[in-house]
Amino acid sequence: MELCDLTIHELKRLYAQKEVGPSTVLAAVVRRIKEVEAGTGAYIDLELESAFEQARTAEARLKAGKPLGELEGIPVAVTDNLCRAGKKTTCASRMLAEFVPPNTATAVRNLTAQGAIILGRTNMDEFAMGSSTEYSAVRKPKNPWDPQRTPGGACGGSAAAVAAGETIAALGTDTGGAIRLPAAFCGVTGLKPTYGLVSRYGLVALAASLDQIGPLAKDAQDCALLLNLLTGYDPLDSTSVRKERMDYTRDLEQTLSGRKIGLPREYFGAELDEAVRRVLMEAVAQLEALGAEIVELSLELTKYALPAYYIIAAAEASSNLARFDGIRYRQAAPVGEELNAYYTRARTKGFGPEVKRRIMLGTYILSAEGYKTYYQKAQQVRTLVSQEFKSAFQEVEALITPTAPTTAFKMGERLEDPLSMYSSDLYTVPASLAGLPAISVPCGFVGGLPVGLQIIGRPFAENTILNIAHQYQKRTDYHKARPPRQKEGTV
């Protein structure tokens, strides 16, 4: 296995033993990028010159025997809706093609403060609206396991980069499954933390009551290491929770003996592909063999979560994106044109089809006619879904479900059918509505494509779901599988 395919914890061990240096690791990652990036399209922009400068600095500290930061010398990629001062942040949209923010997202700053080497910005669905990353205004990234298939969305670039060895780890954002779905489709591990646990400051908002920043990595142990650095109260984010910081690696080695894990019937219904179901039930059997007690239960409101989510998310997106008018956040101004006409032209040209669809839908939902009929009822459903989860967690410590109803679907297959695209999020949006932590881990293959197992926990119970994920990964090798190398220019 090459250096670019190793985990954070494996590289940290090699650094501590001085068996390899950060410059060598970065060079291996860059070689892989040059080999496969033309095929994957995982990145929007690379910053290799500054990355090598950071690597040389880390190497000098290592040789001098100085203590290293927690991520010193570790290459990390950042999804393109996380701001960094002086660096373009475009959200994969023409509307922000020239936007350079004055601030840096707290999550990014926390990683760089510990020495992380930022490789560049990863591709995503425009403004994180999508389930396939095909709505990127830059280019459509491919799934490293099969270039004819989507990497999932909205953070498909981050997941594809981790899977292909084009980075060691990455940051993504998850509103309704944008970390977990790509993680499942690309065969990596992706964690959505509890809402409010990680600061959203510096994140270009899609739906502010749902958005969370989280890690994509090669295994649960790396996700725990990253989460240690991402968390902490931030006065710059009004939704940041005042909570004592924890060590999320602390409980990784606990046995699963006696843990009660729920298996909700509604997540294993007719919508779930039969071959995917078989793989998931093998994973359930493995957890039982590890000592977990599997408890079947019912979450009857699951069927209402998807429509409620898309009503709420569209309403909030419509409000959040109203600021993007073609004048602010870019170098442009109306010349010889009536202002409203300019706004119409700029927004028509600047936004892609999915963004326009959700803005129009959200605007109607927030209208006098739509507010009580749709938005208010969706919020009531959200409350009921949260209460149902709360009741379930009085009986069990965690829930296991599919991450997605199918494996990665083909490029273009669902672009003309928005409802089919939205159905990809069927199993991820309930946890998002309730603000719960959830992680997707690889649990097998169907037709050579990865399958993801989702583990959902109580609020702020990241330690529990990381423990379950880690113990499962200690006894399986699915997370160690790497996609076949696609030759440059073949896709």
Structure tokens at 61: 């500290």
Of 229, 285, 161, nearest to 12 by C-alpha is: 229
Closest among 258, 247, 238, 243 to 197, alpha carbons compared = 243
Query: What pLDDT does residue 486 have?
Result: 61
Closest listed residue to residue 196, CA positions, set 248, 240, 237: 240
Q: How many helices (H) and strands (E) does the chain have?
A: 16, 11
Contacts by residues 330-337 (CB-CB < 8 Å, ≥ 24 positions apart): 330/95, 330/96, 330/97, 330/98, 330/99, 331/98
Domains and their CATH numbers in the chain: 3-299+389-480 (3.90.1300.10)
CA proximity to 428, closest of 446, 445, 451, 405: 405
Q: What is the band of 488 on the pLDDT scale with cuts at 50, 70, 90?
A: very low
- The confidence score (pLDDT) of residue 327 equals 86
Pick the closest to residue 265 from 289, 288, 294, 285 (CA basis).
Answer: 294
Please give the radius of gyration of the chain, using alpha carbons only, rounded to the nearest integer: 21
Residues above pLDDT 70, as percent of the chain = 98
Structure tokens at 34: 């040059």
Paired sense of beta strands 449-457 and 398-402, if any: antiparallel
Which pair of tokens denotes residue 97?
């093609």
Q: Give the helix, strand, coil percentages of the chain, each rounded to 5.
A: 45, 15, 40
Say which DSSP state 115 is in.
T
Between the alpha carbon of residue 144 and those of residues 1, 32, 38, 405, 421, the distances in Å are 17, 12, 11, 20, 20
Element (DSSP H or E) covering residue 482: none
Listing from the earlier edge strand, what are the strands of the sheet with 438-446?
43-46, 117-122, 75-79, 169-174, 212-217, 189-192, 438-446, 449-457, 398-402, 260-264, 293-297
Residue type, 68: L
Q: pLDDT tens digit string along 371-424?
A: 999 999 999 999 999 999 999 999 999 999 999 999 999 999 999 999 999 999
The rounded distance, in Å, linking the Cα atoms of 237 and 214 is: 16
pLDDT, tens only, 86-125? 999 999 999 999 999 999 999 999 999 999 999 999 999 9
32-54 pLDDT per residue, tens:
999 999 999 999 999 999 999 99
The DSSP output letter for 149 is: B
Sign for the pseudo-dihedral over CA of 453, 458, 461, 463: negative
Residue 490, pLDDT score = 35
Helix (H, G, I), strand (E, B) or coil at 409: coil
- Return the minimum-mean-pLDDT range out of 242-246, 398-402, 428-432: 242-246
Q: What angle do CA 6, 10, 15 make, to 5 degrees?
A: 110
pLDDT of amino acid 1: 83
**Tens-digit pLDDT profile for residues 187-233:** 999 999 999 999 999 999 999 999 999 999 999 999 999 999 999 99
CA-CA-CA-CA dihedral for 283, 9, 160, 308, to nearest 10? 60
**What pLDDT, on the 0 to 100 scale, is given for residue 489?**
39
Q: How confident is the model at residue 331 (pLDDT cuts 50, 70, 90)?
A: low
Q: Which two tokens stand for residue 100?
A: 């350079």
pLDDT digits (tens, 9 = 90+) for 142-155: 999 999 999 999 99
The residue-averaged pLDDT of 356-370 equals: 96
Q: What percent of the chain has pLDDT over 90?
A: 94
Q: Are 143 and 407 in contact (CB under 8 A)?
A: no
